[in-house]
Chains A and B, each alone.
Chain A
Amino acid sequence: MTLELLTDLATPITRGILLGGLYVVIALGLSLVFGVMKLINVAHGDLVIFSSYFAFFAMTSLGVDPILSLGMSMPIMFGIGFAIQKYILNRSFRVSMDASLIVCFGISLILENVYQIIWTPLSRGLTTGYALKSFAVGAVNIPLVYLLDFIAGLAVMFFLREFLGRTYMGKAIKAASQDHRAAILMGINTERIYGFAFGLAMAFAAVGGVCLGLTFPFTPTSGPQFLIIAMGVVILGGLGSMLGTFIGGMIFGLAQCVGGYFFGVAAQMLVAYVLVFIILAAIPRGLFGR
């Protein structure tokens, strides 16, 4: 009996671990902004979906493969992110942190409505040829896109680590997130750094959006679901710990896939939500973070 259970579980477990990559990508963008600006961008999920819709647009109207469309969407989203930070969020920080939260909410509303107008509430997906392929490793059946998610997670993580560690800009971002005043005293223009960090987070969101669109169907209101999961990943993994975020992503992927196996696909999100809630209540500082 147990052996059978284990073999049956092998697929959801593997899928869960691979799916974690998607959540890592989404969470890293959120975590970057939170670490540097101490702001939870509640529009982050919707911004990820922006990329999903952009890729959808590229696919259906321009005939460009979603992954290739990243070549366009990443710089565009970087620019959008920089602009949002510079012209809107910056001003809101001067009012109060709560104001920033509410402004992000407003942005989330605006985005969701725009999606609804342009693409209707109908569910969409990035249905390319390879999006439907899967391959088998022994008894385990793995959709190709899950593997892509995992690779994306690793790639983004690796890029971020190198960027933060080796470039002046990256070090400046780290510095600004650890001690804002001291960073200024180093000659760092923290406002510009914030803009850059947010833009970078948006570039990651671009990657996340394409992966998401390939993995799940999405609607104008899909954003908040992934925001909540990303929050859970960030807190579970602990701020500032990339390894932690990676493991957190895996855990959420696992929770979802294994939970879906036991409770049905419809309950997948619920499992994730409950997990987030428990994490928030139990571990205010995350497992790995400071």
Chain B
Amino acid sequence: MRLQYPDTIRVIRVPCTGKVDILHLLRAFEKGADGVYVVGCMEGDCRFNQGNLRARKRVEQAQVILEAIGIGGDRVQMYNLSSGEGTKFAAYAVEMTERIRKLGPNPLKSAKRRKAA
């Protein structure tokens, strides 16, 4: 559809969001990601039955953990859409980027820089 969405996003394709493990989400932040969002099928429409529901649970677990350790639970989100909704995909990308810009960079990045200095 040739819609524009921010280029600060790295897309990692998986066959189903059910393949996304909570460790993938946490390690991304460990390595300095400012935000992670998971985009899956509409609830009830998962091609593999419950993959997107599992992904949502894992995203929620990650939110609790990130909030507790001071990184911020809002940095990880889950969105549901159907594969035909290109406009919504772009809109979510913009929404997520805006949210992360407001939250600022991953606090670990400045912590690492301070340590290196």
Are A and B co-members of a single complex?
Answer: no
List the interface of chain B (C-beta within 8 A of A): none
